[in-house]
Protein backbone atom coordinates (compact mmCIF):
# COMPACT_ATOMS: atom_id res chain seq x y z
CA UNK A 1 0.00 0.00 0.00
CA UNK A 2 1.38 3.41 -0.97
CA UNK A 3 1.63 6.06 1.76
CA UNK A 4 1.20 9.81 1.38
CA UNK A 5 1.66 12.48 4.06
CA UNK A 6 -0.09 15.80 3.46
CA UNK A 7 0.35 18.86 5.65
CA UNK A 8 -2.45 21.38 5.84
CA UNK A 9 -4.81 18.55 4.97
CA UNK A 10 -7.92 19.65 6.85
CA UNK A 11 -9.22 22.07 4.18
CA UNK A 12 -8.67 23.55 0.75
CA UNK A 13 -5.96 22.19 -1.53
CA UNK A 14 -4.63 19.83 1.14
CA UNK A 15 -8.00 18.19 1.68
CA UNK A 16 -8.60 17.93 -2.08
CA UNK A 17 -5.24 16.19 -2.55
CA UNK A 18 -5.96 13.88 0.39
CA UNK A 19 -9.36 12.96 -1.03
CA UNK A 20 -7.91 12.17 -4.45
CA UNK A 21 -5.26 9.85 -3.02
CA UNK A 22 -7.65 8.22 -0.55
CA UNK A 23 -10.04 7.37 -3.38
CA UNK A 24 -7.09 5.90 -5.32
CA UNK A 25 -6.41 3.45 -2.48
CA UNK A 26 -3.45 5.14 -0.82
CA UNK A 27 -2.92 5.27 2.92
CA UNK A 28 -3.35 8.98 3.65
CA UNK A 29 -1.73 10.61 6.66
CA UNK A 30 -3.43 13.98 7.06
CA UNK A 31 -1.55 16.52 9.16
CA UNK A 32 -3.12 19.74 10.41
CA UNK A 33 -3.02 22.09 13.37
CA UNK A 34 -6.71 22.25 14.22
CA UNK A 35 -7.70 18.88 15.67
CA UNK A 36 -11.46 19.35 15.20
CA UNK A 37 -11.13 20.18 11.51
CA UNK A 38 -8.71 17.29 11.11
CA UNK A 39 -11.20 14.84 12.62
CA UNK A 40 -13.83 16.06 10.15
CA UNK A 41 -11.39 15.72 7.23
CA UNK A 42 -10.40 12.16 8.19
CA UNK A 43 -14.08 11.26 8.57
CA UNK A 44 -14.78 12.58 5.07
CA UNK A 45 -11.85 10.62 3.64
CA UNK A 46 -12.86 7.33 5.28
CA UNK A 47 -16.56 7.76 4.39
CA UNK A 48 -15.56 7.99 0.75
CA UNK A 49 -13.85 4.61 1.04
CA UNK A 50 -10.34 5.84 1.67
CA UNK A 51 -7.79 4.85 4.28
CA UNK A 52 -6.79 7.86 6.37
CA UNK A 53 -5.44 8.82 9.74
CA UNK A 54 -4.92 12.27 11.17
CA UNK A 55 -2.01 13.67 13.13
CA UNK A 56 -2.74 16.98 14.83
CA UNK A 57 0.06 19.40 15.52
CA UNK A 58 1.84 22.54 14.45
CA UNK A 59 4.05 22.05 11.39
CA UNK A 60 6.06 25.11 12.35
CA UNK A 61 7.48 22.94 15.16
CA UNK A 62 10.43 20.99 13.72
CA UNK A 63 10.25 18.35 16.46
CA UNK A 64 6.59 17.63 15.68
CA UNK A 65 7.29 17.31 11.95
CA UNK A 66 10.29 15.02 12.52
CA UNK A 67 8.10 12.89 14.80
CA UNK A 68 5.46 12.64 12.05
CA UNK A 69 8.06 11.35 9.61
CA UNK A 70 9.39 8.83 12.11
CA UNK A 71 5.97 7.60 13.27
CA UNK A 72 4.64 7.20 9.72
CA UNK A 73 7.76 5.31 8.69
CA UNK A 74 7.48 3.03 11.71
CA UNK A 75 3.74 2.42 11.23
CA UNK A 76 3.68 1.92 7.46
CA UNK A 77 7.23 0.97 6.52
CA UNK A 78 7.98 4.16 4.63
CA UNK A 79 6.66 7.25 2.93
CA UNK A 80 6.08 7.29 -0.82
CA UNK A 81 4.95 10.90 -1.20
CA UNK A 82 5.10 13.89 1.15
CA UNK A 83 3.09 17.00 0.23
CA UNK A 84 4.07 20.25 1.97
CA UNK A 85 0.88 22.26 1.73
CA UNK A 86 0.38 24.00 5.10
CA UNK A 87 0.29 27.78 4.96
CA UNK A 88 -0.94 30.86 6.71
CA UNK A 89 -1.29 34.43 5.58
CA UNK A 90 -2.20 37.86 6.83
CA UNK A 91 -3.61 40.59 4.64
CA UNK A 92 -2.54 44.15 5.32
CA UNK A 93 -0.09 46.90 4.66
CA UNK A 94 3.41 46.27 5.93
CA UNK A 95 3.14 49.19 8.35
CA UNK A 96 0.10 47.57 9.94
CA UNK A 97 1.66 44.12 10.35
CA UNK A 98 3.53 43.06 13.44
CA UNK A 99 6.72 41.09 13.76
CA UNK A 100 4.55 38.26 15.09
CA UNK A 101 2.46 38.35 11.89
CA UNK A 102 5.57 37.93 9.76
CA UNK A 103 6.94 35.24 12.05
CA UNK A 104 3.76 33.13 11.96
CA UNK A 105 3.42 33.34 8.17
CA UNK A 106 7.10 32.54 7.65
CA UNK A 107 7.11 29.64 10.11
CA UNK A 108 3.93 28.06 8.75
CA UNK A 109 4.33 28.80 5.05
CA UNK A 110 8.11 28.47 4.58
CA UNK A 111 9.77 26.75 7.52
CA UNK A 112 7.12 24.03 7.68
CA UNK A 113 8.13 23.06 4.14
CA UNK A 114 11.79 22.95 5.15
CA UNK A 115 10.95 20.74 8.14
CA UNK A 116 8.60 18.56 6.09
CA UNK A 117 11.17 18.11 3.35
CA UNK A 118 13.85 17.13 5.84
CA UNK A 119 11.52 14.65 7.58
CA UNK A 120 10.55 13.15 4.24
CA UNK A 121 14.16 12.86 3.11
CA UNK A 122 15.07 11.10 6.37
CA UNK A 123 12.49 8.45 5.44
CA UNK A 124 13.25 8.35 1.71
CA UNK A 125 17.06 8.44 1.56
CA UNK A 126 17.61 4.97 3.10
CA UNK A 127 15.37 3.36 0.47
CA UNK A 128 16.40 5.73 -2.34
CA UNK A 129 12.84 6.46 -3.43
CA UNK A 130 9.95 8.81 -2.86
CA UNK A 131 8.61 12.16 -3.98
CA UNK A 132 8.26 15.47 -2.19
CA UNK A 133 5.75 17.99 -3.49
CA UNK A 134 6.00 21.64 -2.48
CA UNK A 135 2.85 23.71 -2.81
CA UNK A 136 3.94 27.21 -3.75
CA UNK A 137 2.06 30.09 -5.31
CA UNK A 138 2.12 32.36 -8.31
CA UNK A 139 2.49 35.12 -5.73
CA UNK A 140 6.08 33.95 -5.24
CA UNK A 141 6.77 35.07 -8.81
CA UNK A 142 4.39 38.00 -9.08
CA UNK A 143 3.79 39.45 -5.63
CA UNK A 144 0.60 41.27 -4.74
CA UNK A 145 0.12 44.29 -2.50
CA UNK A 146 -1.08 43.67 1.06
CA UNK A 147 0.49 40.18 1.08
CA UNK A 148 4.20 40.87 1.62
CA UNK A 149 4.60 38.23 4.34
CA UNK A 150 2.97 35.47 2.28
CA UNK A 151 4.70 36.42 -0.98
CA UNK A 152 8.07 36.46 0.74
CA UNK A 153 7.49 33.10 2.38
CA UNK A 154 6.42 31.47 -0.89
CA UNK A 155 9.46 32.95 -2.68
CA UNK A 156 11.60 31.38 0.04
CA UNK A 157 9.92 28.02 -0.61
CA UNK A 158 10.86 28.27 -4.28
CA UNK A 159 14.47 29.21 -3.53
CA UNK A 160 14.87 26.45 -0.95
CA UNK A 161 13.35 23.86 -3.27
CA UNK A 162 15.55 24.75 -6.22
CA UNK A 163 18.73 24.81 -4.11
CA UNK A 164 17.93 21.46 -2.47
CA UNK A 165 16.96 19.95 -5.83
CA UNK A 166 20.39 20.91 -7.19
CA UNK A 167 22.07 19.30 -4.15
CA UNK A 168 20.12 16.07 -4.62
CA UNK A 169 20.92 15.94 -8.34
CA UNK A 170 24.62 16.51 -7.64
CA UNK A 171 24.63 13.75 -5.04
CA UNK A 172 22.99 11.22 -7.39
Catalytic residue positions? 150
Query: What are the backbone dihedrals phi and psi of residue 116, each rounded to the nearest 5 degrees, phi first?
Result: -65, -40
Say if residues 25 and 48 touch (Cβ distance below 8 Å). Answer: no
Q: What angle do CA 74, 75, 79 make, to 5 degrees?
A: 75
Identify any residues that bridge with 32 across adjacent strands, giving them in sequence order: 56
C-alpha–C-alpha distance, residues 151 and 24, integer Å: 33
CA max distance for the chain:
50
Amino acid sequence: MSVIVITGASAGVGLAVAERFAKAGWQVVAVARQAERLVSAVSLLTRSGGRAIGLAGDVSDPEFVARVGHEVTEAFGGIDVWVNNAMSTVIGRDEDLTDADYRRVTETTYLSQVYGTRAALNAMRPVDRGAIIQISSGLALRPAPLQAAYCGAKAAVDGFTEALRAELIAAA
